[in-house]
Amino acid sequence: MNRIQTLYKSIIGKKVIAAVTGLVLFGFLLGHVAGNLKVFTGSTEQGIPHIDEYGQFLKVAGEPLLPAGALLWGARLTLLTSVILHITVVVQLAMLSGKARPVGYVKSKKKAASLPALWMMFSGSLIAGFIVFHILHFTTGTIQIGEFEHGYVYNNLRSSFSNPFVAGGYIFVMLVIGIHLNHGVWSMFQTLGIDNPDRNKFLRTASTALTMAIVLGFIAVPASFLFGLMPEAANYAHELLTGH
Amino acid sequence: MRIKLHVWRQSSRSDKGRMEMYELDNVVEDMSFLEMMDTLNEKLTVEGKEPVAFDHDCREGVCGMCSMVINGEAHGPKSETTTCQLYMRHFDDGAEIFIEPWRASAFPVVRDLVVDRSAFDRIIQAGGYVSNHSGPKPDPNSIPIEPNVAETALDAATCIGCGACVAACPNGSAMLFTSAKASHLGLLPQGQPERFDRAKSMVSQMESEGFGSCRNYAECEAQCPKGISIAFIGRLNSDFLKASLVEPIDRRGDMKAQ
């Protein structure tokens, strides 16, 4: 514990925390996008869209070993902790760096720094705001755009994303996430000391490829609904899904 | 060649400082950048004005004293070139050139373009050394070292400690310098005994000097006059992590069985 405290106090340690929490969030995005693609796989014989079934599965995953919702809430708490830590250390480091360069240059020029790297704070803030909105929109249903009913994931998506502003907004934020990940994923390898000249090309290509896969996967959902490519879901009784 | 110079003038550490404009019309293309500065100073002296103070020593690109941010780039527009090795032929006739000191709170401006870089000396003192026996001279090449390891260590050792990395980094981070100094010793067998302590103590000194954090922009590498790779930053990160979490601290003490 003592060692973790010492590590946390150091500049490199804070970077490492940003990298590890970033990895957790990146892993979550991979899972999230894979789950989202169930929108395209159709419905069961009873007319329940696979995505609705998947949503219900997430609520009870881990049963009967764990009580219902334990795995879901465990994951949610891990993600919340990661987001909070990620933001905290990054803000602390940014404040420190501001103090390290109190007087700027009259004329300054960037030779190597990429725009995604320079925009990390901006893209990160936008993503943080989006996460809050996204949870209020699709998880709690507090922000109602179109029709919303808990559990009817497919219909909720259809209702929200047929609005071009909502779909456009989501697509825009996904591109911002892509910009954030483009630097962030590679940066994680460098911070953890995993990158080296012999692996650099592979790690950078893999980071970009995974980022593009995630972004395209996420964009596919609102784009398909927006362009009317998705069929209407059949009406089904909610009891069919929950089994009671 | 005619050139227009905007130079940072600051009479003392406490002075606020400002940019001043000078015009020079007798610049020869084959002059080095520092010779051009000498010409400016001669002109200022003749006019009874205070010459511009700037750091310089060997003028061969090896001492690491010259330190100017020229048109927003540490050591000017030519890559892997120190200010003293930069020539006026690298600029156009009629060019407008901005000259500023290294900017970092850990490098306070002493006067004009001269900054106090003793923070770097203290980072070296914290861990930039190896333990050696003081007995008879060892046989040459008695410790085998893999050639690529020796070469990598030499690449790190080309750091002249000029501070361009700090000046170039948007965060004023000294990670490239610290990592180069920690790596050129940490890569070699002679540097192993202190390897992990070195990583910890040099990083801790770097932090207490007030340098910023690394955000992996690689701006330092691009503006380093010796082209030192950010691979060394990754290496220091890795050594620091191992030092903090894995390497034993001090395991002396008693143990009980149960």
Residue B136 phi, psi (nearest 5): -65, 160
A86 in B contact zone (CB under 8 Å): no
Nearest to A190 by CA among A15, A13, A68: A15
Which ipTM was obtained for this model?
0.91
Distance from the Cα of A97 to chain B's closest Cα (Å) equals 4
Tell me which of B151, B198, B215, B247 to substitute to probe the interface with A (most A C-beta atoms closer than 10 Å): B215
Tell me the nearest-neighbour CA distance from B131 into chain A, angstroms.
26
Which chain B residues are closer than 8 Å to A105 by Cβ?
Answer: 69, 72, 100, 103
CA distance B170 to A28: 31
Asked whether the beta carbons of residue A12 and residue B241 sit closer than 8 angstroms, the reply is: yes
pLDDT at B250: 81
The answer to whether B9 and B58 have CB atoms below 8 angstroms apart is no
Mean pLDDT on B147-160: 97
Q: pLDDT for B41-90, tens place per residue?
A: 999 999 999 999 999 999 999 999 999 999 999 999 999 999 999 999 99
The pLDDT score that the predictor gives to residue B4 is 97
* CA A183 from centroid of its chain's CA atoms: 15
- Domain locations in chain A? 18-99+114-242
Residue corresponding to tokens 């401006």? B109
Mean pLDDT split into 10-residue runs, chain A, 244 residues: 87 96 97 96 89 91 87 96 98 95 94 94 97 95 87 92 95 98 96 95 96 97 94 79 67
Domains present along chain B, CATH in parentheses: 3-110 (3.10.20.30), 117-131+145-245 (1.10.1060.10)
How many CB pairs below 8 Å do chains A and B form together?
138
- On the question of pLDDT at B194 being above 90, the answer is yes
Q: What is the mean pLDDT of residues B211-230?
A: 97
Q: How far is B247 from chain A (nearest CA, A)?
A: 11
Residue with tokens 């006026």: B88
| pLDDT score at B139 | 87
- Could you tell me what percent of chain B has a pLDDT over 70? 100
Structure confidence at residue B41 (pLDDT): 97
What is the reported pLDDT for B141? 84
Whether B234 sits inside 8 A of A194 (CB atoms) is yes
Pure H helices in B96-255: 118-127, 147-157, 164-168, 175-186, 195-208, 219-223, 231-245
| Third-level CATH fold of A18-99+114-242 | 3 helical TM bundles of succinate and fumarate reductases (1.20.1300)
At A240 the pLDDT is 76
Strand locations in chain B, DSSP E?
3-9, 18-24, 69-70, 73-74, 96-100, 109-111, 114-115
Pairwise CB contact (< 8 Å): A112 & B172: no
